[in-house]
Amino acid sequence: MFIRDMLPNSLSDRLGHLSPPVREANIRHSLTSFSSRMRPDGFHYFPSSSTVMFLTESDEAWRSTNGGSTWTRVLQQAGRLLSLFIHDTNSRLVYILMAQDAILVSFNRGETFERRELPAPPNRLGLPVLEFHPERDKADWVLFLGQRENECFTRLYRSKDHGYNWQEVDSWVHRADFAVLDKHGNGLLAMAWKKPMPHGVCQDEVVSSIAHPLQFVSYGDKDHLREVHFDHVAQFSKVGKYLVVAVEKEHEVTIHISLDGNSFTPAIFPPNIRLDKNGFTVLQSTSGNLIIDVSKSEVQGREVGRLFKANSDGIYFSLLLENTNRNNLQLVDWEAIGGIEGVALANQVINTRELARDGAKRLRTLISFNDGGSWSPLTTPKNTPCSGGVTENALECRLHLHSVTEFKGPGLVFSASSAVGIVMGVGNVGSYLLPKPLCQTYLSRDAGRTWIKVSDTPDLFEFGDEGGVLVLVNPAAPTTEAWFSYDFGSTWQRIQFSDNPVLVSSLITDPTSHTSQIVITGITTFHDKEQPRFVIATLDFSDRPQCVMDKYNKEKSDFEKWSPLMAYSDRCILGREVDDFMGSSTVLLPSVVGYAVHSEFMVAAEISQDDSTLQVSSSLDGTRFDSVKYPSNVQIGHPAYSVLDSSTSSIVMSVMTVDRPGHKFGSLFMSDSSGQFFSLKNRHVNIINTERIEGANGSPTDFERIPGIEGVFLLNEVMNPDQASLGHKKLLRTMITMDNGRTWRPLKAPSVDVNGKPFDCTPGECFLNLHSSVSDANTKGHIPGMMVKVGNVGPYLLDAQSCHTFLTLDGGHSWRQILRGPYQHAFADQGNILLLARDDGQPTDTLLYSLDHGRSFVQFRFLSSLPALPPIAGDDGKVFVRRLITRLHGIGTSIMILAEPTLSISTATRTADHLVAASKQWLIRIDFAGLDFPTCVLDLEDEDNDDFERWSLARPEQNAFDMTWDKQRQLEERNHDEDAVGDDQPEKGCLFGRKVKYLRRISDRQCFFGRDFDPRPHHELDQPCACTRDDFECAFNFEPLFLQPPLPPPSNSSAQSQDKTSSSLSFKCVPVAPTGIQPLNSRPAEMPQECLAGQEFYYESIGYRKMAISSCVGEHPLLGFKKPCLVYTNSPMPLIRLGLLWIAIMFVSGFFGWVTFHIVRKRSMSTSEPSTPDAIHLQAHAFTPQIIAMSTLASMEQLPQSLKGSLEAGLDYLRGAWDVVARAVLPSSARQRLNRNRYQTLDSEQAAPEDATMLDEYVD
């Protein structure tokens, strides 16, 4: 969260109704003319002061102490002045180099200077001359790179006393800097030529060679001992905490990264990325990570690059953006927005193919809000026509801005670090960026999320007073006026800064934009006979009233809070919440041992007060944590917790119950939508033994989510828990749920193996059991429902070496054996390309790949395709394949094979290369882009003419492999119909309350998805599904009691597994124990969540709850009893509503009394026998209103049907109202007796038949 000045309540048009030029009393301005122009290095601001200095082209030095309003010439008799340097960390220090062997030093911001003699004149090779130590306590340390008069090479000197004394360090130095790293805190780093050099050779003529390479060296602090790190160094740079060194060898450049200046690690880029010594630019992101732009083309006028970002160690680089725009000066059109972490702008070349035919570059501007992780075009300003004939609101109608490659001078182009969120730029709206003279000026007040046009011309702009003042000047023609805005560009005013026209060349202010003074520089002519003169004009806005920040009174405060990522992230920027600039902290949980964030939930584990157990708490907002609640029949001892999933609006968590090494297992729980109340889903889920799994941490649960599918999970259940807890071998069976954990069943085995033969297993024991994989993104494609696993057909899971490879395309409904034996796999092109390699411990030289979803495979001998056989291959030409590596979700068409040597090389043929290679791993890259398939076509409007088929979990007749599954499903549905109550079947195609269609490429279509394709499901949200019993599960402290299973269970399965053979089983929810359960109709004293949300009613549970994943709509009996929120309401007139409630109660009670009186009288008149209504047993403390209501209900059968329905509805409302009043006015003990008697007084034998059906089905 950021704070800035508030905008005015009413905003006028921006530049459409400009006021006349103003000369406000609180805006001071001045103008000074000079006979000579300012040098290109421009103004030099002293940090945290209003002092400014600059040098002119005629060697004059000028100084101002009031931000440029008035000027004084200094050092008039000093001689020729070469350059001016202000110290980086000491804002009072300034150095001026002179043409003679001298340097001028000032300790008071240029007020007075002292002369120091130099050991040599400054170098004449154009190399950096002065460097300062970046630590403030070493501000007197200076490096000087000089060159004697009679020499043509440089000498490096160091001083530790502001240049009083100099000490020579080395000669033939190309560049040097202080090493502020762990090891060389007081040392030096340099690029220097290896000596001795040939006689008569000058330094600017030397080319790096084997005999005389340009070396990267370091020097000690005291002895200047020279240590060589690299030969043939091309460049080095310090960027944040990283030391980056580029080394050239055989015309290729490798980059090495160091964090301490001692140990270096080669940077790893994606394959086929070639670096040239003059073809890369090192940048830094706002989050501190290294960013490097690598040139793809260096042809003049057609320079294009690729943008890469490193991980936190600076070693592994991943591609951020293709075809970035760059120029021959190695400048890149990329800039991080100042003051906001993670926001950056970049320009991309969109016509790279045309550049090969001498075309001009066409650029588009992109913005990233997550530090380059994803990019999107800039939004189009409202009411702005598009350029180039593109129609408004078309996809090509976007905003594009000129960037770094077209601006000169230091500092940021679009923003200032102190003007948080204010971004300005010159550009146009259209399909690509136009030349600057055809552009306009645009502004964003929310860090680039939305834009407005503030000028019809390409203006110069500047920020003052931390963004409180914006200034525009048109540089196209001489002018006397500028424009300024106090309200972030909403309204503008003109101001005259000169009496004579000035051709403006620049707008300048303090680099931090803290000052309220804006400097305008340019050329003017006062009289016709005078020569043009350089002028400096200032606009001083500092006399404005001071802004007031009052965080306790928003109406009196001049500031407002805002977030730059409102459309992209609710409150956090790159995972960090900054609502008070981290000025305070609050202890949420005192003894946390670990926490995890999953989707909308934060889960934390803390040690109990007696240090005996771990207590888990959850939160939806990261502020309020509630202890999780388990069913009362579950005993939690000293568990270990694992949060497994939260993709279905609930938390899936395993709790270890048996911690015996090699025999671990636990219980699986799933929460409600609040993340607080957990229900037991499986008692004996397997915990994987990780002692032999390389790189595995902790104890992963044998649980897995089907990729891309909601509510479908796999787990391996321990079928012999009692024996396993005593040390016997665990017998595992794979179970699947299709209803978000409500019911589980074993996986149905395929009918035949890969050769078309039936599996050899006993009838009733033919289940498919699968090995779980330790989390690996490479093994999961992006195609929903597609999964490859290693397993076997039988009663229990066998070891991996005895298993085979299986594939599902429909989320686990059906499986097919695709290969015999265990294979490791990976996906490319988001799952279109399936790649497999042997995983049985044997060496291989073959990779299998499939382009038709595993129906056929092609063998590819990857070693024989290499130009030269690597020395890792043994005598048989094979290697061990340790891993197949692809990008996350298999994006892209390339794959890398991580291979290890077989060490089967005979002694006679073993060489030194083999011995070295035997200790290494090798990466072999294979790219399928050479297949040159077209991009797959998806047409949501014409499904018959694209490359995709649609399928749904709610339509099992579309299973991909085994059509015999339809018969089993049909049998389940018939049995399900017999147990249903009324018309309670889900609408065709509905699952979890919505219709979802998944996309799958037609297997015989030869096409690629490409990088930008998104195969996520297509939701038909315009047809919501009504709630059915399939949308409900047992509520907290209830468990399912399964009825007759629809399919005969296997003969050898346990009773527990018999109850879980189908996802469509009939069951009812019963309390887990008689104690610990509140009466069904009781309600906590606090306000229900439904009432807190402003609803008129809430539902009182009868033991069921709607699954958090379900989005069904409509009423359903399983929702429970509907109660009004009258007492709980947040209405401003609760007393009035309560009074109306009492009036309604009295009226309805009187009406029902009248009806009852006439009914009883009529019955007594129609028969001589005593009239006896249905028996009602009342306790002595029962209340009269309830007696009347129950008696009336017993007599309502005699009323006309229309009147009967109205009376029943009124009676239901009266009951709910009475509950509310009783809760408000009666003690809790009396309410419990009243509620308990309500259910005890009604004899079940005398209940209405339809009521009995409902109670038997839902409440028993």
Residue in 898, 644, 890, 891 with CA at minimum distance from that of residue 780 = 890
Tell me, what DSSP letter sits at residue 233? Answer: E
What is the model's pLDDT at position 486?
84
How confident is the model at residue 904, as a pLDDT?
52
Strand partners, 746: 735
* Strand-pair partners of 592: 606
Percentage of residues in the chain with pLDDT exceeding 70? 70
Q: Where are the domains of the chain?
A: 1-27+411-582, 826-932, 948-1092, 1134-1258
Where are the extended beta strands (E) located within 758-874?
A: 767-770, 787-794, 804-808, 816-819, 823-828, 833-838, 846-850, 858-861
pLDDT confidence of residue 155:
93
For the cut 60, the answer to whether the pLDDT of residue 860 exceeds it is yes
Binned at pLDDT 50, 70 and 90, residue 661 comes out as confident
From residue 1183, alpha-carbon distances to 1153, 1179, 1187 in Å are 15, 9, 7
Looking at residue 556, its pLDDT comes to 53
Burial class (CB in 10 A: 0-12, 13-18, 19+), 525: middle
Look at the chain and count its residues: 1260
Q: CB-based contacts of 373: which residues, under 8 Å, 6+ apart?
A: 320
Residue 907 has pLDDT above 70, yes or no: no
Question: Which one has a higher pLDDT value, 294 or 277?
Answer: 294
User: Residue written as tokens 């002028």?
Assistant: 535
Instruction: Show the CA angle centred on residue 704, arms to residues 699 and 705, nearest 5°.
Output: 145
Q: Closest Cα partner for 615 from 591, 633, 646?
A: 591
Q: What is the pLDDT of residue 970?
A: 43
- Per-residue pLDDT, averaged over 623-636, amounts to 82
Q: 848 by DSSP, 3-state: which?
A: strand
Helix (H) or strand (E) holding 345: strand 344-349
Q: Which residue has the higher pLDDT, 999 or 967?
A: 999
Which long-range contacts (C-beta less than 8 Å, at least 24 apart) are formed by 1118-1124? 1118/1027, 1118/1029, 1118/1032, 1118/1258, 1119/1027, 1121/1081, 1121/1216, 1122/1097, 1122/1098, 1122/1216, 1123/1083, 1123/1097, 1123/1098, 1123/1099, 1123/1216, 1123/1219, 1123/1220, 1124/1096, 1124/1097, 1124/1213, 1124/1216, 1124/1217, 1124/1220
- What DSSP element (H or E) covers 309? strand 304-310
Predicted pLDDT at 1211: 57
Least-confidence region, from 6-10, 346-350, 473-477? 6-10
DSSP 974-1037: HHHHHH--SS-PPPTTEETTEEEEEEEE-TT---B--TT-----EE-TTSPPBP-GGGEEE-TT
Strand partners, 806: 789, 817
Judge contact between 701 and 685, C-beta under 8 A.
yes
Quick one: pLDDT at residue 1179?
Answer: 35
> Residue 975: what pLDDT?
41
Q: Are 773 and 779 in contact (CB under 8 A)?
A: yes
pLDDT attached to residue 49 = 83
Q: What was the pLDDT predicted at 223? A: 67
The listed range with the strongest mean pLDDT (219-228, 303-312, 612-621, 1208-1217) is 303-312
Residue scoring higher pLDDT (723 or 1252): 723
Q: What average pLDDT does the segment 289-318 reach?
A: 86
C-alpha 822: how far from chain center: 35
Q: Residue 325, class by beta-carbon neighbours within 10 Å (0-12 exposed, 13-18 middle, 19+ buried)?
A: buried
Lowest-confidence pick of 83-92, 358-367, 1058-1067, 1116-1125: 1058-1067
Mean pLDDT, residues 273-301: 81
- What tokens were used for 116? 């120091």
Distances (CA, A) of 1048 to 141, 764, 1053, 1061, 1064: 87, 9, 11, 9, 14
pLDDT at residue 152 in the model: 92
For position 530, what pLDDT does the model report?
Answer: 66
DSSP 318-340: EEEEEEEEB-TTS-BSEEEPTTS
Question: Which residue type does 922 have?
Answer: W
- d(CA 452, CA 435) in angstroms, rounded, equals 20
Of residues 930 and 553, which shows the higher confidence score? 930
**pLDDT tens digit string along 123-177?**
988 899 999 988 888 888 999 999 998 889 999 999 999 889 999 999 999 999 9
Span 1012-1038, mean pLDDT? 73
Residue 746 clears pLDDT 90, i.e. is over it: yes
Partners of 32 in the β-ladder: 536
Calculate Rg over the CA atoms of the chain: 39
Predicted local confidence at residue 1016, as pLDDT: 57
Query: Tell me, what's the pLDDT at 560?
Result: 56
Q: Please give the Cα distance from 914 to 727 (Å, whole number).
A: 46
Q: Quick one: average pLDDT of 330-337?
A: 89
DSSP secondary structure string, 453-486? EEESS--EEEEEGGGTEEEEE--SS-BSEEEEES
Side-chain half-sphere of 319: how many Cα atoms within 13 Å? 16
Q: Please tell me the predicted confidence (pLDDT) of residue 1108.
A: 85
pLDDT band at 1238 (very low <50, low <70, confident <90, very high): very low
Q: What is the pLDDT of residue 653?
A: 87
Residue 573 confidence (pLDDT) above 50:
no
Cβ of 914: how many Cβ atoms within 10 Å?
Answer: 17
Average pLDDT, the chain: 75
The pLDDT value recorded for residue 889 is 66
Is 71's pLDDT higher than 70? yes
Region 979-1001 average pLDDT: 70
Strands (E), 1016-1155: 1018-1019, 1032-1034, 1038-1042, 1067-1071, 1097-1100, 1104-1106, 1121-1124
Q: Is the peptide bond before 822 cis (omega within 30 degrees of 0)?
A: no
pLDDT (0 to 100) of residue 73? 92
